[in-house]
Amino acid sequence: MLIALGGNLTSSVGTPRETLTAALKYMQTSGAVIRATSPFYHTPAFPAGAGPDYVNAAVRIEAPWTPAQVLEVLHRIEARFGRERTQRWGQRTLDLDLLAVDDIVLPDRNTHKIWRDLPLEAQIGRTPDQLILPHPRLQDRAFVLVPLADVAPDWVHPLLKMPVRALLDALPARDKASVRRL
């Protein structure tokens, strides 16, 4: 299971970096075995101007959970650290995104393609009402792919048939340069 972590607001435990560290520990106490954790990265807010810059990371875990159970655990951890879902792509204390579970595609290839191809303007106003795996926009985001390349460089996107390294290489250089290791 591949998970992206991010935050740009102070939580009850401290800075975004401290919050991500605490969230990783909470994943473990919830039953996950952490197999790899990326370094933390400083990344610009997305979309531009959406608040303070972020701290982002990625983690590869093993756990005896279904994808739906992983999502429940991640939402519970987010809530523990003060995550409020008031605005899509808004500022947040903690954001935990389930990126992929092996080569599982949910709910199906056609629905995934619709969400993957959704124009940016539509993405801002629409939220899926079901779990979509792999995350439909992971291939577009340097703030996801740079840390993901640290923990799962050879994971192959089951629909795009490209490993993380190739997805990252395909991004514009300016996007990759905006993700700086802390």
Q: Residue with structure tokens 């756990």? A: 63
∠ Cα 68 87 25 (to 5°) = 50
Indicate if 103 belongs to the active site: no
* pLDDT tens digits for range 25-70: 999 999 999 999 999 999 998 767 778 999 999 999 999 999 999 9
* pLDDT tens digits for range 115-167: 899 887 776 667 788 999 999 999 999 999 999 999 999 999 999 999 999 99
- Residue of 83, 108, 116, 141 marked catalytic: 83
Show the tokens assigned to 119.
Answer: 């124009």
Indicate if 174 belongs to the active site: no
Residues near 18 by beta carbon (within 8 Å), at least 6 away in sequence: 11
What pLDDT shows up at residue 86? Answer: 61
The CA distance from 165 to 182, in Å, is 21
Indicate if 83 belongs to the active site: yes
- Residue of 17, 88, 92, 154 marked catalytic: 92
Q: Label residue 116 exposed, middle or buried (CB < 10 Å: 0-12, 13-18, 19+).
A: middle
Give the containing element (helix H, strand E) for 6: strand 2-7
The CA distance from 172 to 74, in Å, is 30
Indicate if 76 belongs to the active site: no
Supply the pTM of this predicted model.
0.93
